Amino acid sequence: MPELQSATESTMNGVVDQLLTPAENLPGPPRFVNEWLKANIVPWNFAGINPGVFYNEMRRWWCGLMLHSGISLTERMTLFWHNHFATNEAAVQDGRFVYQHNQLLRRHALGNFKELVRLVTIDKAMLDFLDGRFNKKDYRLQENYARELQELFTIGIADNNGNPNYTQQDVVEAARTLTGWDWLGDHNAGVVCNILSGHDITNKTVYGKTITGNINGGPELAALLDIIFEKEETARYVIRKLYRFFVYTDSPLTPVAPISSEVEEGIIAPLAAAFRQSGWEISTVLRTLLTSQHFYDPEIIAAQIKSPVDHLVGTARALRTAVIGGDQFDYLMQAIQLRATRLGMELLAPPGVQGWQFYRPWISTSTLPQRRADTDALIDGTDVTIVDMLNPIFTGPIYRNGTTKLNVLAYAKQFASFADDPEQLTADIAEHLLAYPASPKTLGKLRDALLQGQPAYEWASASEQVKETRLRSLLKTVMRTPNYQLI
């Protein structure tokens, strides 16, 4: 628990500084993805590549980045933007675009929101996913991206009172502004540019303001974003999504879900004003939120239901000293990404352009037993199969079969109470893993799971094999509590 110890020894501002410090270098791609990135195949979906192998490796890689992200919000914000600018790997024709899009979100996760929107607009994966590359003046006006740019990515379909923020004509005019974007050359290394023959160079009118036609689509894109970002509602819309993601929501995270008037005017409005005044700097507004008194209000501590990724990756993070490297690490990441998918959260494949609907949809009569079974499997170990490829052209699978394993003794030995005080050890582990203090009744059940009917004084002399078995029982019981489902 070195990160927890480091945080407790620091100040609030010191921890927030660490959380908001972007990584100096982006992580490199996983091994096989890297081989495919170097392959100049045009296009890859006709080259015999097995996309399932590619994407599963990417998911394992991303889960590993989350696990080892340290005291940093970079990966959490990458996940936030992945859901905000939702693209689905099945609808993007080249998996290398998916990887590059993921790295784009990571690179700008804590940077400037307006610049991120500009870059996403002309990103290959997004041009493919929402048909932006088919938006040509003499071919067919393609409104998909122009609509989602406003409805989902910036201003939102309506304000908190249900008043519309834009019209269908604004969508049409924005689509005209965005005509002509495509990439030239190789699918992998080709450059995205605005092609004059496909761009409408006449004037457009969005929100009653004129965008002067230009033979280059870049200035028009900048002008369109200036108009959208002048609207106060753009800042409020994004802040509402950040608030629901980091703090609390009493309704699913949808574009039109209302938020209480008290929170809207007392929290959202001033944060939105600060966001605009900062020039749309994400880290600035997050710092304001994370250092606010409201963020530490006991009423909203542990008020969110963990998403499947939070639930499973979070379990591995909490037990990080129990995680074994090498193939064992790959097996664990494979188990996590597959089980998150089964619970409805397949990384790289949100269910629609609106992304995942957070909060209560994660818990149901079918998913709650599955969540408990999943943590049981992580603690006890579960069999997995990984399919690898050694070259960009799919010439045959290479299978790795194994069983996940966590060193629960290594985890428990971090606590001074491990040696001879099982009751205190129970309390220490509960405090470490649960979102809020366990009740005396819950602590009693946890203690019983550890001692299994034996007197407490026998713990010190028990063999490590016996302790390991009992620790697994304790950890599974902790993770089956309602408290453990919250964040």
CA distance 381 to 450: 19
Per-residue pLDDT band at 369 (split at 50, 70, 90): very high
Which range, 155-164, 359-368, 442-451, is most confident?
442-451
pLDDT at residue 251 above 90?
no
pLDDT at 53: 80
pLDDT at 255: 45
pLDDT digits (tens, 9 = 90+) for 465-482: 999 999 999 999 999 999
Three-class HEC string of 172-235: HHHHHHCCCEEEECCCCCCEEEECHHHCCCCCEEECCEEECCCCCHHHHHHHHHHHHHHCHHHH
pLDDT at 46: 47
Residue 436, classed as helix, strand or coil, is coil
Residue with more model confidence, 13 or 249: 13
CA distance 143 to 159: 22
CA distance 38 to 354: 32
pLDDT digits (tens, 9 = 90+) for 262-301: 899 999 999 999 999 999 999 999 999 999 999 999 988 9
CA distance 451 to 458: 9
pLDDT at residue 101 above 80?
yes
Q: How would DSSP label each residue in 304-360?
A: SBPPHHHHHHHHHHHTGGGB--THHHHHHHHHHHHHHHHTT--TT--SSTT----SG
CA distance 336 to 375: 10
pLDDT at residue 94 above 90?
no
Region 305-332 average pLDDT: 95
pLDDT at residue 45 above 60?
no
Proportion of the chain above pLDDT 90, given as a percent: 76
CA distance 183 to 187: 8
Neighbour tally for 34: CB within 10 Å: 11
For the chain, domain boundaries: 409-485
H/E stretch holding 444 reads: helix 440-451
Q: What is the pLDDT of the chain when averaged over all its residues?
A: 91
pLDDT at 249: 75
Per-residue pLDDT band at 151 (split at 50, 70, 90): very high
Query: Which residues is 192 bridged to in the sheet?
Result: 183
Q: Computed over its alpha carbons, how large is the radius of gyration of the chain?
A: 25
Region 15-28 average pLDDT: 90
pLDDT at 359: 74
pLDDT at residue 426 above 80?
yes
C-alpha closest to that of 459 among 434, 424, 486: 424
pLDDT at residue 419 above 90?
yes
pLDDT digits (tens, 9 = 90+) for 200-219: 999 999 999 999 999 999 99
pLDDT at residue 436 above 70?
yes
C-alpha closest to that of 101 among 77, 74, 124: 124
CA distance 445 to 439: 10
CA distance 342 to 367: 9
pLDDT at residue 253 above 60?
no
